A and B are shown apart, each in its own frame.
Chain A
Amino acid sequence: MFMRTKSLVSATALLLFSSVASAGLALPLPVQIDFAGRTAIGSMYAARTSANAFEYIGCGVRFGVAGPIFAFCQAGLGEAAEQQFACITTEPALIEAIHAISAFSLIVFAWDEEDNCTRIGNSTQSFYLPDFKDKKK
């Protein structure tokens, strides 16, 4: 009886830990906007899968035949204008930074008092990726 119980506990523990181990580290980073500090941060996947229907973050570039026209980054946490923000830039270095953003990147950007982007960063890490084995309904 004792052996049987022990085996059952071991099997359960193995099953539990193996499933955790196969998922890897996950750090979904929801969107945060610091209007006073003029920065926004968040992972696109966390925003897209958020329970908050107004949460978003991202950057974009507009090109003309002569090259980039301008770029922008934006983030939002609510429907009201005060809960959203967008900055723009025509600086080639910042536009270049946007090219490195991938679908599951974490994005961080900052802006000045004129709403010009002053910093655009991204981080592409395994812990921002979705659990592809997790089949959501």
Chain B
Amino acid sequence: MKPLHVLVALLFLALVIGVIGVVTTRSDKTLAKSSDGSAVAARANVQAELSSDGDHPCPDELQLRRIIREELAVLPAAVLARQTPQDANAASRSLTEGAGFNQSEFVNRQIDDYIRAGTISESEMAALQGEIGRLDVAGRRQALGVLVRAINSGILEGRL
């Protein structure tokens, strides 16, 4: 091998190392900038939340309020009636009922999906009944009513 060839090879190697170094540095900078950006955005959100008052709620707060209003609107009146400030267990009970409410929503959504599909297999029915069994009595009655009426009317093909 000639010395000239060795020199060319070394120069090429140095060039490759240099290119890799530049690319890596740029990527790191981009990542750092991006993470800085997220941090800044998060800080801005926190500051906005802290500084927002009742007269000028931020968009996120408005959205949260809307969601809460929607969820409260569909809560059974009986559940709301039982939640009195005097009740020492109100907080824990409302948590339980909140969990029940979500399960109820989940089950009702599942039933709706099966009705849309028009059919429910034996195994799907067994699984669904398992989910229904986790509801409180009122939720269970409601879900079973929808299910059985769908079967009786023929819009859902399946067996209990």
User: Using a CB–CB distance below 8 Å, which chain A residues touch chain B?
Assistant: 60, 62, 64, 69-70, 72, 74, 80-82, 84-88, 90, 114-116
In addition to A86-B151, A116-B141, 6 A-B residue pairs with Cβ atoms within 8 Å of each other are: A69-B129, A69-B132, A70-B129, A70-B140, A86-B152, A116-B145
Q: Is the CB of B160 within 8 A of A88?
A: yes
Q: Which residues of chain A come closer than 8 Å to B144, judged between CB atoms?
A: 70, 88, 90
Task: Give Cα A73 to B134, complex, Å.
Answer: 21
Q: Is the CB of A90 within 8 A of B152?
A: no
Task: Give Cα A84 to B160, complex, Å.
Answer: 12
Whether, in the assembled complex, B7 has its beta carbon less than 8 Å from a beta carbon of chain A, the answer is: no
What is the minimal beta-carbon distance from B100 to any residue of chain A, in angstroms?
14
User: Using a CB–CB distance below 8 Å, which chain B residues touch chain A?
Assistant: 129, 132-134, 137, 140-141, 144-145, 147-149, 151-154, 157, 159-160
Task: Give Cα A85 to B148, complex, Å.
Answer: 9
Q: Interface on chain B toward A: helix, strand, loop, or mixed SS?
A: helix
Q: Which residues of chain A come closer than 8 Å to B160, judged between CB atoms?
A: 60, 72, 74, 86, 88
Q: Which residue of A lies closest to B155 (CB)?
A: A81
Q: Is the CB of A82 within 8 A of B133?
A: no
Q: Which residues of chain B come closer than 8 Å to A86, judged between CB atoms?
A: 148, 151-152, 160
Q: Interface on chain A toward B: helix, strand, loop, or mixed SS?
A: strand
What is the minimal beta-carbon distance from B117 to any residue of chain A, in angstroms?
16
Q: Is the CB of B140 within 8 A of A69?
A: yes
What is the minimal beta-carbon distance from B122 to any residue of chain A, in angstroms?
13
Q: Is the CB of B133 within 8 A of A62?
A: yes
Interface centre among B134, B137, B141 (most CB of A within 10 A): B141
What is the minimal beta-carbon distance from A63 to any residue of chain B, in angstroms?
8
Q: Is the CB of A81 within 8 A of B153?
A: yes
Q: Which residue of A lies closest to B147 (CB)?
A: A88
> Could you jot down 11 A-B contacts, CB within 8 Å?
A69-B133, A70-B140, A70-B144, A74-B160, A81-B157, A85-B152, A86-B152, A88-B144, A90-B144, A115-B145, A116-B145
Q: Which residues of chain B come closer than 8 Å to A114, judged between CB atoms?
A: 145, 149
Q: Which residues of chain A come closer than 8 Å to B129, judged between CB atoms?
A: 62, 69-70
Task: Give Cα A115 to B141, complex, Å.
Answer: 11
